[in-house]
Structures are given as structure tokens and as C-alpha cells.
């Protein structure tokens, strides 16, 4: 059963990436990277983790994604072969920034040990 969810996660990641890149015309949604998709067990919700190149306007871009959510779900329904397309929940993924901070701390510690 987990295999099916993994396939759906990958399909949603691929399709939503293409929709954001080619279909959505909102200028506030640019250079979006989908890092991960997690579909619930009953396939009713899909958490889509996103990151942006432009870190200054994260709130504005997240709001634009929420506004385009209905359009994205409609386009996704046309592409997926599912009876029920999950509701989309966009979540900002700040794991890259956190990992950079940890690497900097570790580099500082390593430099101070010498």
C-alpha cells in the first residue's frame, strides 16, 4: 500500500511542477521548487513542500500559491488517473536554510579546533 502512495507522491510532484512552470501565469509565482509531496493515507490531502530562489518574498509567493490552488488542482485532475484528486496544501520548506546554518556552525567549530 505504501508503494501506491509513493507512486502518487511522485506523480503529483511531477505534474504540479509542470503546471507551475508552464500553466500558471501569476508573476508572483516564479522559480518555485517542489521538494517533497506527502499524500495522506486516504488520499484526501496532499502536502506539497516548496522552496523559492527569491527568499525575500516568501509570504507573497506562498499567498499566490494558495490563490492558484484551485486552478492547480483542476489541472492536476485532468492529468491524474484518480477517482478523487487530493486537496492541495502548500507548505514552505526551509530545510535548506536550516542545513546551511548547521553547516556554518560545524565549520566554525572545526575552524576553532585547529
* pLDDT for the residue 1: 56
Given a cut of 90, whether residue 104 has pLDDT beyond it is no
Rounded CA separation 32/53 (Å): 7
* pLDDT for the residue 67: 96
20-68 per-position pLDDT tens digit: 999 999 988 888 999 999 999 999 999 999 999 888 889 999 999 999 9
Please state the pTM of the whole predicted model.
0.85
* pLDDT for the residue 114: 66
- Backbone φ and ψ for 69, nearest 5 degrees, come out as -55, -40
Spatial CB neighbours of 62, under 8 Å, sequence gap ≥ 6: 50, 90, 92
At the top level of CATH, the class of 2-113 is: alpha beta
71-84 per-position pLDDT tens digit: 999 999 999 988 89
Q: Residue 108's pLDDT band (boundaries 50, 70, 90)?
A: confident
Domain boundaries, the chain: 2-113
Residue 100 CB coordination number (10 Å): 10
Amino acid at each position: 500500500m505504501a508503494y501506491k502512495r509513493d507512486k502518487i507522491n511522485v506523480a503529483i510532484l511531477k505534474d504540479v511542477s509542470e503546471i507551475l512552470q508552464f500553466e500558471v501565469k501569476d508573476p508572483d509565482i516564479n522559480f518555485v521548487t517542489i521538494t517533497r509531496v506527502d499524500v495522506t493515507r486516504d488520499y484526501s490531502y496532499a502536502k506539497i513542500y516548496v522552496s523559492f530562489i527569491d527568499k525575500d518574498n516568501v509570504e507573497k509567493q506562498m499567498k499566490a500559491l494558495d490563490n492558484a490552488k484551485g486552478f492547480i488542482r483542476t489541472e492536476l485532475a485532468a492529468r491524474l488517473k484518480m477517482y478523487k484528486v487530493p486537496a492541495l496544501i502548500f507548505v514552505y520548506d526551509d530545510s535548506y536554510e536550516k542545513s546551511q546554518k548547521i553547516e556554518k556552525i560545524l565549520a566554525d567549530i572545526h575552524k576553532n579546533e585547529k
